[in-house]
Each structure stands twice: as C-alpha cells, then as structure tokens.
C-alpha cells in the first residue's frame, strides 16, 4: 500500500503532510506527557522488530500462498496509539530511506494511510473498547482481526482518494475502489490473524506488555474534548483538502450545464484583462486543449523545446565528464606524489 | 538467497556506498536532502501531458549518478518496489483517455498514452533521486538533516534506533527462518500453528533487549538526546543547493529550454 512520489500531486502531498504532521505533533506531546524515558529505546527496538518481522513469510492455510505483517495494529496494542504512531513514522521513513519503498513526497500520505488508521482508529476505537474489561483469547482475536481489516480498508480507500485527487489516473473511481478494497480485505484478514496469534501469545506469557487492557472506560479512558476537537480538525483538513481537490478535478457537470444553458461549453471573452490572461496562458501552456501548440506539425513549436532539452542534457553530460576528469586527475596526482 | 538475506545484503551494499570518500558524500546532509526534495517536488508538479519538459529533468539524476559514481542498474532495480502500483494506476489511462493529441503518420497518440508515459517517467525520476539520496547519505546523516529542520527529537531518535537495530534484528529473523526451514523442509513460510509462539517469543526477547539497550544507553550518558557533532555548512553546500534550485526551477517554470533551443533552431 506504499504510495510512490509519482502517484501524488504536490497539493495532495502537501495536504497530507500537514495532516500527518499535526497528528505527529500531538503524539510527541502525549509521549512527552507520559514521561517514561524507557519508552524511546523500546519504540526504536520495536520499530526494528516490526521491520524485521515484515521480512518473514507466513503460510496462509489452504491457499498455498503467504502473507506478512504490517505492524500498525500490533505496535499500538503494545506501545499505545501515540508511541505506536511515532514508531510507525520511523518504520515508514526507514523503509523509504533503505529500500526506496514509498517516496519522500508521498511520506505524508503513507503515514496517514498506514500509521494513522492502524494506530488511532485501531487502538482507540477498536482495541481499547474491546479490552476495557480485560483480555481473553476471543477478545484479542476479534480486536486484531476487526482492527486490521477496518484500518486496511480505510487506508486502501485513502490511497484511491489521494491518487484520484492527484489526477494521475483516468481510472474511474468506482473501478479503482473495486480493485483496491477486495485485495486489502484479504491482506487485512491475514494480518489480523497473524497479529492475533502474536498478541494472544504475549497475553499468556507477559500480559503486562499489552496496552489498554482492563482500563475503565471512565473520563480518563475516553478521548478528551481537546483530543476530539484535534481529531475532528485533522479529519476536516483531510476531507476539506483532499476530497475537495478530488471534486474539483471533474468539472464536467458545469460544462454540461453551460452547454444546455448557453449552447456552448465555453463563454466568449472580451477585454484587455482577458486578452492579457490568455496571452500568459498561451505562453505557458504546452498542450492547450489537449494538443501541442502549433499542431499543424507533429511537434509544433515544441521542436525548439526538444532541441533546447538536448542542449541542456549535453551541457549536463559535459559538466559531469569534466567533473570526473578533474577528479581522476587529482587522484592520479596524489598517487604519483605518494 | 531468501528475502531477509536479500534485504540484509541491500543494507550492507548501501552502507558501503554511503561510506565512500566522494565529493557528493562529503556534502552537508541538509544540502543532499534539500536538493532531493526540491527535485522530487518539481518532478511531481508537472502536468500529466507535459512530457517534453519532464524529460529534461533527467539532468539531475544523470549528474548525480555520474558524479556520485552510482550504478544505474542498482537505481533502476529500486523501481521494482513502486512499479506495481504505478503500473496499476497508469496502464488503464490509454483505455479511458482516447483524446488524440498528435498524429505520428497514421498512428494516433492519445492523451492516455502520453499521461501513462509521463507517470512512468515521474516514477523513474523520483525513485532515482531517492536512490541518489540514500546511496550518499546514511540514516545518521538524514537524521542530522531532520534535526536541522527542527523535526522533533523523539521522532529522530526513534528513526536512528530503528536504523541501528534493523541489521541486528534482521539477522535474528534470518537465523529464525533458517532454523525453521531446517526443521520444516519444503514448507512455504511459517505454518499458522507456529505464528504466535515463534514471533511472540521473538517479540518478548526484543522487548527485553530494549530494556538492556536502555540501561546501556543510560550508562553511556543518554539523557533523552544524542550528542551530535555540529557539521558546518560550507560555501560548496550552499552553492550546490542554490545552483540546483535555480537550474531545476528554470527548467520547470520558465521557457528556458525553448529559449536555448531557439538559439540553435534560428
């Protein structure tokens, strides 16, 4: 489910960075409030553990195939949602920096899709309410499976929204969602079963390691008013930013209405301001109305662009070769001297 | 070689690349991070049909691969991770966007074809730029750059610790898998009956290890932060970022490419 940089526009990436940064800042504050110095090394080692576990393959009974762990739900069941979220950020960043899995620009989206839902929705809305009166095998299994399926479904849906809002695919929204959701239903089920097996073992061996078990659902157990407002604000930013972008990417309804009312999809414009704006647009747009400028020839005036590009690449090659030449010369001189 | 050994080998290889005594590796970590981020943002900002201008952006990875003495094959190999989703998103474009953009003889090139190619090029360029960054900067370098950008200490320390312990826990995962495979030959993956005990025991060991790690860190003077030796920013570092920002910005936002071309065409 890692999104690549190519799949997100800068506007969507920026919006998701803002949302993820907001939640990260809140989580840092909560972890500091806990004032447990042992937690930071634990978060680091647990992050490395999740990373290493993701390399293990688990046989899926009756299918002949295998799956692996994602870790968001397991981390929050062991560390709590805030520390779990920060650890998942670390895991995603290291995945990006060591294996180029996901991108730097898409990191905000990946944090939201995989860490936010797994840690906050999974831990606060599913794990804690189920565990409030103590843990049992059945409860842990139910919380793990429901949590993993639900959070992966939400993550996959967000991937569809973000990709479509970025305008990089012509795939209809319904088809995209129809492909993404069932795949992640199966993945969520497998991840849920693996998470359940591990957490049941932990509950039997070291129950004190599990977070949120046996906590009363009193005032302390619920989200505070400020916390609720914070979550709502982040959700509002997400839907206001990403979903509105998605909506504005399809103005066909307006064009359809214009066609019906005015008989044309585009209004005639006159006046100096319109002429100036049209002039600027004429200069800057390479493909006005889906056609190359000067489309009487195959590449029109962009021929000069191609020539310019070849020149730029040539200069770049020249500079790089010069750089290597001088470096090799310097190394040769140093070798001679020694 | 199994997946775990492959991944450990990748980490080893990256570590060797990061420690080379090259000009690019000696640049300030913030310089390397900012240049990569600027490039990735500019590449991602191209219109879905703007193939000509996008193609020119190859200059940055090209320069870095040449100067940084990196293998293009290794860079392209990284594409395998992001390729499935990029393909899934891009391949349907020619079927849904059939607007003819240009005619190459009798062959019609549609908007969908162009947007699909643009998506692939964007994927390729951004992965190559990321590879340049990770092949020249260690996790410690990037953490230092993140601290320079005032990313909270907690997040940076967690990233640093994950970077430090990933190899150790990865090796442990490899030993566990090898031991399991030897006891369960011709079995694909770990049987579901062993999921809980095998991973659970390993998890408990890791948590106990975290406690030992914490105690040893305290003995070495850990008080919630890692002391970092300050690395001064040299003129080279400033110029590198500035020149790339100007060149890439000019290629993206101005008609610089056309202007240069017109000099020769005219």
**Which pLDDT value is given to residue A63?**
58
Residue B41's pLDDT band (cuts 50, 70, 90): very high
Interface contact A286-B4, CB threshold 8 A: no
Nearby residues of A155 by Cβ (< 8 Å), 6 or more positions away: A1, A113, A114, A117, A118, A184
The CA angle B31-B83-B76, to the nearest 5 degrees, is 55
Highest mean pLDDT among A130-139, A324-333, B33-42: B33-42
Check whether residue A223 and residue A310 sit in a common domain.
Answer: no
**Which pLDDT value is given to residue A92?**
92
> A316 or B89, which is more confident?
B89
Res B65 pLDDT > 70: yes
Of A214, A248, A282, at which residue does a domain stop?
A248
Least confident piece of the model among A38-52, A321-335, B57-71, B88-102: A321-335
Check whether residue A195 and residue A311 sit in a common domain.
Answer: no
Res A236 pLDDT > 50: no
Structure token pair of residue B233: 């920013």
Chain A with chain B: Cβ pairs closer than 8 A? 359
**Which pLDDT value is given to residue A286?**
41
Q: Give B48's contacts in chain A (Cβ within 8 Å).
A: 167-168
**Which pLDDT value is given to residue B233?**
86
**Which pLDDT value is given to residue B6?**
82
Residue B11's pLDDT band (cuts 50, 70, 90): confident
Helix axes A39-53, A72-79, angle to 10 degrees: 150
**Which pLDDT value is given to residue A257?**
36
Q: Give A316's contacts in chain B (Cβ within 8 Å).
A: 59, 62-63
Check whether residue A231 and residue A103 sit in a common domain.
Answer: yes
Closest approach of A172 to chain B, Cα-based (Å): 8
**Which pLDDT value is given to residue B226?**
64
Range of the domain at A132: 5-248
Residue B175's pLDDT band (cuts 50, 70, 90): confident
Structure token pair of residue A95: 């995945």
**Which pLDDT value is given to residue A233?**
53
Least confident piece of the model among A152-156, A245-249, B122-126: A245-249
Residue B214's pLDDT band (cuts 50, 70, 90): confident
Average pLDDT over residues A33-49: 85
Per-residue pLDDT tens over the stretch A111-132: 999 999 989 999 999 999 999 8
Structure token pair of residue A314: 């040539």
How many alpha carbons fall within 13 Å on the CB side of residue A169?
A: 26
Report how far residue A186's alpha carbon sits from residue B228's, in angstroms, rounded to the nearest whole number: 45
User: In chain B, which ranges are continuous DSSP H helix?
Assistant: 3-18, 23-26, 29-44, 51-56, 59-67, 72-77, 79-90, 93-96, 111-136, 139-148, 153-183, 200-219, 235-253, 256-265
Q: Which position has the token pair 């831990």?
A: A123
Check whether residue A193 and residue A338 sit in a common domain.
Answer: no
Least confident piece of the model among A4-18, A305-319, B161-175: A305-319
Highest mean pLDDT among A50-54, A164-168, B191-195: A164-168
Report how far residue B49's alpha carbon sits from residue A290's, in angstroms, rounded to the nearest whole number: 8
Share of chain A above pLDDT 90, in %: 30
Facing A104 at nearest CB: one of B40, B86, B258: B40
- Residue A264 within any structural domain of the chain: no
Highest mean pLDDT among A226-240, A322-336, B189-203: B189-203
Cβ-count burial A13-33 (b if 16+ within 10 Å, e if not):
bebbbebbebbbebbbebbee
Report how far residue A156's alpha carbon sits from residue A113's, in angstroms, rounded to the nearest whole number: 7
Res A256 pLDDT > 70: no
Res A273 pLDDT > 80: no
Res A295 pLDDT > 80: no
Per-residue pLDDT tens over the stretch A163-195: 989 988 888 888 889 988 888 888 888 889 989
Candidates A2, A3, A5, partner chain B, best to mutate (most B CBs within 10 A): A5
Q: Give A37's contacts in chain B (Cβ within 8 Å).
A: 214, 224
Mean of per-residue pLDDT scores for chain A: 75
Facing B66 at nearest CB: one of A56, A292, A320: A320
Q: Give B37's contacts in chain A (Cβ within 8 Å).
A: 104-105
Interface contact A24-B41, CB threshold 8 A: no
Per-residue pLDDT tens over the stretch A70-83: 788 899 999 999 99
Check whether residue A316 and residue A175 sit in a common domain.
Answer: no
Closest approach of A298 to chain B, Cα-based (Å): 6
Least confident piece of the model among A156-160, A172-176, B142-146, B223-227: B223-227
Average pLDDT over residues A230-259: 43
**Which pLDDT value is given to residue A318?**
76
Share of chain B above pLDDT 90, in %: 36
> A156 or A336, which is more confident?
A156
Report how far residue B14's alpha carbon sits from residue B9's, in angstroms, rounded to the nearest whole number: 9
Facing B67 at nearest CB: one of A78, A309, A323: A323
DSSP A8-55: S-HHHHHHHHHHHHHHHHHHHHHHHHHT-TTHHHHHHHHHHHHHHHTT
Selection from B40, B71, B26 nearest residue A106 by Cα? B40
Res B187 pLDDT > 60: yes
**Which pLDDT value is given to residue A57?**
66
**Which pLDDT value is given to residue A279?**
58
Nearby residues of A116 by Cβ (< 8 Å), 6 or more positions away: A19, A20, A23, A85
> Which sequence spans correspond to the domains of chain B?
20-137+231-258
Of A248, A282, A314, at which residue does a domain stop?
A248
ipTM of this complex > 0.95?
A: no
Q: What is the CATH number of the domain that holds A99?
A: 1.10.1760.20
Check whether residue A187 and residue A336 sit in a common domain.
Answer: no
Facing A10 at nearest CB: one of B45, B81, B189: B45
Facing B41 at nearest CB: one of A105, A304, A323: A105
**Which pLDDT value is given to residue B78?**
83
Report how far residue B43's alpha carbon sits from residue B45's, in angstroms, rounded to the nearest whole number: 5
**Which pLDDT value is given to residue B229?**
67
Candidates A4, A99, A299, partner chain B, best to mutate (most B CBs within 10 A): A4
Interface contact A56-B261, CB threshold 8 A: no
- Residue A17 within any structural domain of the chain: yes
- Residue A261 within any structural domain of the chain: no
**Which pLDDT value is given to residue A255?**
39
Check whether residue A214 and residue A321 sit in a common domain.
Answer: no
Interface contact B157-A40, CB threshold 8 A: yes
Closest approach of B41 to chain A, Cα-based (Å): 6
> B64 or A35, which is more confident?
B64
Please give the tally of structural domains in chain A: 2
Interface contact B166-A48, CB threshold 8 A: yes
Residue B102 dihedral angles phi and psi, to the nearest 5°: -145, 160
Residue of A nearest to B126 (CA): A5
Q: Give A99's contacts in chain B (Cβ within 8 Å).
A: 7, 10, 78, 81
Closest approach of B10 to chain A, Cα-based (Å): 8
**Which pLDDT value is given to residue B240?**
95
Q: Give B154's contacts in chain A (Cβ within 8 Å).
A: 28, 31-32, 40, 86
> B225 or A210, which is more confident?
A210
């Amino acid at each position: 489910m890692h999104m690549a940089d190519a799949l997100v526009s800068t506007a969507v990436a920026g919006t998701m960075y803002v949302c993820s940064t907001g939640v990260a800042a809140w989580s840092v504050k909560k972890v500091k409030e806990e004032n447990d110095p042992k937690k930071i090394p634990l978060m680091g080692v647990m992050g490395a553990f999740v990373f290493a576990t993701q390399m293990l393959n688990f046989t899926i009974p009756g299918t002949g195939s295998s799956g692996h762990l994602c870790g968001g739900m397991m981390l929050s069941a062991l560390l709590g949602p805030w520390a779990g979220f920060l650890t998942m950020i670390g895991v995603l960043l290291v995945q990006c920096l060591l294996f180029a899995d996901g991108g730097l620009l898409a990191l905000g989206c990946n944090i939201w899709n995989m860490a936010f839902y797994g840690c906050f929705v999974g831990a606060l809305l599913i794990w804690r309410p189920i565990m409030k009166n103590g843990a049992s095998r059945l409860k842990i299994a139910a919380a793990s499976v429901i949590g993993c399926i639900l959070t992966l479904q939400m993550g996959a849906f967000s991937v569809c929204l973000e990709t479509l809002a970025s305008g990089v695919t012509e795939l209809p929204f319904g088809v995209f969602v129809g492909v993404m959701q069932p795949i992640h239903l199966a993945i969520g089920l497998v991840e849920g079963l693996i998470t359940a097996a591990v957490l049941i073992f932990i509950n039997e061996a070291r129950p004190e390691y599990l977070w949120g078990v046996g906590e009363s659902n009193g005032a302390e157990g619920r989200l505070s008013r400020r916390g609720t407002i914070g979550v709502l604000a982040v959700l509002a930013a997400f839907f206001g930013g990403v979903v509105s972008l998605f909506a504005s990417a399809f103005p066909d309804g307006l064009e359809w209405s214009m066609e019906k009312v005015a008989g044309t999809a585009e209004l005639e414009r006159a006046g100096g301001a319109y002429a100036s704006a049209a002039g600027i647009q004429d200069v800057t747009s390479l493909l006005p109305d889906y056609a190359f400028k000067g489309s009487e020839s195959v590449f029109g005036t962009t021929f000069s662009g191609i020539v310019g590009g070849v020149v730029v690449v040539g200069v770049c090659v020249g500079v790089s070769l010069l750089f290597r030449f001088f470096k090799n010369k310097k190394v040769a001189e140093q070798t001679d001297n020694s | 070689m199994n997946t775990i050994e492959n991944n450990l080998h990748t980490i080893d290889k990256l570590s060797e690349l990061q420690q080379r005594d090259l000009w690019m590796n000696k640049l300030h970590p913030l310089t390397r991070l900012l240049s990569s981020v600027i490039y990735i943002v500019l590449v991602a900002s191209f219109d879905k049909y703007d193939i000509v201008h996008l193609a020119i952006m190859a200059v940055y990875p090209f320069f870095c691969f040449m100067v940084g003495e990196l293998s293009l094959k290794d860079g392209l190999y990284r594409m395998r991770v992001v390729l499935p989703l990029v393909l899934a998103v891009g391949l349907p474009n020619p079927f849904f966007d059939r607007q003819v953009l240009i005619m190459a003889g009798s062959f019609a090139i549609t908007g969908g074809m162009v947007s699909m190619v643009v998506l692939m090029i964007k994927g390729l360029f951004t992965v190559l730029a990321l590879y340049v960054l990770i092949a020249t900067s260690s996790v410690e370098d990037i953490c230092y750059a993140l601290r320079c950008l005032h990313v909270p200490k907690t997040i940076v320390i967690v990233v640093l610790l994950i970077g430090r312990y990933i190899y150790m826990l990865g090796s442990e995962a490899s030993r566990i898998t090898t031991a399991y495979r030897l006891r369960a030959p011709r079995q694909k993956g770990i049987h579901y009956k062993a999921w809980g005990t095998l991973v659970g025991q390993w998890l408990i060991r890791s948590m106990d290890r975290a406690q030992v790690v914490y105690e040893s860190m305290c003995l070495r003077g850990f008080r919630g932060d890692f002391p970092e030796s300050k690395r001064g920013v040299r003129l080279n570092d400033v110029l590198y970022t500035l020149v790339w920002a100007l060149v890439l910005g000019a290629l993206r936002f101005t008609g610089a490419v056309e202007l240069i071309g017109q000099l020769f065409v005219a």
